[in-house]
């Protein structure tokens, strides 16, 4: 079942989300939510989706960066972004540790702000401590584009959107980004 992705302006996108206990993670309703979020992010398509984006104020996000999403990028772009395939996984109650300063700048978009993009500075390398879809502890060490995805999704769980971190003068429609900035 596909879920409705809420757009900027919905209060749930600006609120801090609630933590989940292991029992709540394992509940049929949360397991169903995870599966629906997986279907929704793949349909969008996107590389991550946080529960607030589907109207649920929970510290839960799904992440997956399939190879097929990267096909339109050149080797140069893939290398610059340090982008590789990331298998599907779930993060719950994440604690983010930046291992580098947020100086890596790239255009970023969001399923809750469709049709727009902007330059956002993010840390190149992060560590995340969280629970997985089974409520088991997990430590993730990520760099490059995967680190960017994690930071973006964890921001959602704190009520922060990329537009709060963007370089204001870079804000653009996707159409104008493609016309004027994509190949730069």
Name the nearest CA neighbour of 87 among 18, 141, 146, 153: 146
Name the nearest CA neighbour of 131 among 30, 14, 45: 30
Give the whole-angstrom CA distance, residue 15 versus residue 10.
Answer: 10
Q: Which of 39, 85, 153, 175 is catalytic?
A: 153
Name the nearest CA neighbour of 124 among 153, 102, 140, 150: 102
Give the whole-angstrom CA distance, residue 112 versus residue 134.
Answer: 27
Is the N-terminal amide bond of 45 cis, ω within 30° of 0? yes
Residue 68 bears catalytic tag: no
Task: Just list the catalytic residues.
Answer: 153
């Amino acid at each position: 079942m596909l879920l409705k992705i809420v757009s900027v302006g919905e209060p749930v996108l600006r609120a801090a989300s609630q933590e989940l206990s292991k029992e709540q993670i394992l509940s049929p309703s949360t397991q169903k939510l995870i599966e629906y979020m997986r279907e929704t992010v793949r349909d969008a398509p996107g590389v991550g989706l946080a529960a607030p984006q589907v109207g649920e104020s929970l510290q839960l996000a799904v992440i997956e960066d399939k190879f097929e999403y990267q096909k339109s990028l050149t080797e140069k772009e893939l290398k610059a972004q340090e982008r590789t395939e990331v298998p599907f996984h779930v993060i719950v109650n994440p604690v983010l540790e930046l291992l580098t300063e947020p100086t890596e700048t790239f255009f970023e978009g969001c399923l809750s702000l469709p049709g727009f993009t902007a330059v956002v500075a993010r840390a190149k390398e992060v560590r995340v401590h969280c629970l997985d879809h089974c409520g088991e502890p997990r430590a993730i060490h990520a760099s490059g584009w995967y680190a960017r995805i994690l930071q973006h999704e964890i921001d959602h769980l704190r009520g922060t959107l990329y537009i709060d971190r963007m370089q204001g003068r870079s804000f653009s429609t996707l159409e104008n980004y493609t016309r004027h900035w994509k190949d730069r």
